[in-house]
Amino acid sequence: MSSELSALVPVLFGHATFQQLNAGCELGLFELLDTDGPLPAGTVAETLGLSRRSTDILLLGTTALGLTEVAGGEYRNGAPVAAVFRHGLWPVLRDIVQYQDRIAYLPAADYVESLRTGENVGIRHFPGTTRDLYSRLAAVPGLEELFYRGMHAWSQLSNPVLLAQHDLARARRVLDVGGGDAVNAVALARAHPSLRVTVLDRPGALEVARKTIAEAGLEDRVETYPADIFADPYPPGHDCVLFAHQLVIWSPEQNLALLRKAYDALDPEGRVLVFNAFTDDDRTGPLYAALDNVYFTTLPFRHSTIYRWADCEQWLREAGFTDVGRTAASGWTPHGVVSGRRPA
Ligand SMILES: C[S@@+](CC[C@H](N)C(=O)[O-])C[C@H]1O[C@@H](n2cnc3c(N)ncnc32)[C@H](O)[C@@H]1O
């Protein structure tokens, strides 16, 4: 029985598990061990400016979790953290951890109340009276920047499956609905040198987007279009409409409305692409989607959730799209693309 019950440890202390990772990031432990490791605890304490007691507590936590390793009294990064550095993903992981810490963490404590009421109760942590997180971002200085730095990292981590879509190799002009800071628009324009992209979003998001586009030197091929995704018409002349990390926010009815708008805006033979994480059709996982759903339940909007692949495919068919298909990513996140064609 005791070994069965030990599976409860990382669950019971889930909040503490994240805080060990967060502390290792914030205090500079992993960066130090990457550049100078292996190091004895005393040198870690001295270099990080921590007491020996704090250092021992932190190293115990990170080592027990496999985030660091010790041999002969010297510490180095553990396999998952070392792999993040080796693949050049450290800035991406650091921004994602910061997003979890500063945006998702406190609202997650409102999970029970959110399930009870069916409301995104965690939004109370951000000032405002509107019911979705995005329209509240502008009210807190620095929040828009913090949010899009995190979203940028999530997209960068997961968008290779989108960039590899065959439909995009054939496309001429993409409308990126709710395109945020243009992370995917810029990546698409880089991957497909003759592609033009229009990023449609709120004015606040587009301020950040224009910086991303200018930094990439892509002002000639990536443009911005301020509009409300529900209330305003979509600009014509696009043969591909992309919803990236968008249909996880809204209800099935709202998603159907968005897909119908995309259908009407598309050229005949145009494609729609839905890119985000998906839940298995049999509702058994994956773990990533199951746990990320705490964020979606507590924060973005009252209907936000990671839907099943089959749900998304069904909405596309209902909106009139044909040739509906799915492509799952091969990475460690359950991202993928559901695509469809507007018949001629
Ligand atoms: C989760 S973010 C995704 C950003 C980007 N597509 C990505 O994948 O990184 C959702 C985006 O939808 C935008 N959005 C939400 N509601 C909107 C509305 N009513 N009109 C325009 N944009 C909206 C937000 O401003 C935000 O940039």
CA distance 188 to 224: 15
pLDDT tens digits for range 59-68: 999 999 999 9
User: In this structure, are 266 and 182 located in the same domain?
Assistant: yes
On whether both 320 and 275 belong to a single domain, the answer is yes
Is residue 114 within 6 Å of ligand 1 at its C-beta?
no
> How many independent structural domains does the chain possess?
2
pLDDT at 1: 61
**pLDDT on residue 120:** 98
Task: Specify if 166 maps to a domain.
Answer: yes
Q: Tell me how far the alpha carbon of residue 247 lies from the centroid of ligand 1, in angstroms.
A: 10
Q: Are residues 255 and 188 in the same domain?
A: yes
Ligand 1 mean position, distance from CA 134 (Å):
7
Same domain, yes or no: 261 and 168: yes
Please indicate, yes or no, whether residues 81 and 144 belong to a single structural domain of this protein. Answer: no
Report the distance separating Cα 256 and Cα 304, nearest Å: 14
CATH number of residue 29's parent domain: 1.10.10.10
Atom of ligand 1 nearest to the CA of 159: 8
Range of the domain at 15: 2-86
Residue 219 lies in a domain: yes
Mention every residue, 6+ apart, whose C-beta is less than 8 A from residue 182.
176, 197, 199, 208, 209, 210, 212, 213, 222, 224
Counting as low any pLDDT under 70, the low residues of the chain are: 1
134 shares a domain with 81: no
Say yes or no: 190 and 80 in one domain.
Answer: no
| Tokens found for residue 221 | 């091929």
Give the C-alpha distances (Å, rounded to integers) separating 34 from 2, 45, 71, 168, 230. 37, 15, 16, 38, 46
* Residues 63 and 201 grouped into a single domain: no
- 120: Cβ below 6 Å to ligand 1? no
Predicted pLDDT at 93: 98
pLDDT at 107: 98
Give yes or no: residues 156 and 199 share one domain: yes
Q: Cα of 106 to ligand 1 centre, how many Å? A: 22
Q: Do 73 and 134 have their domain in common?
A: no
Task: Identify whether 179 is part of a domain.
Answer: yes
Pair (53, 200) in one structural domain? no
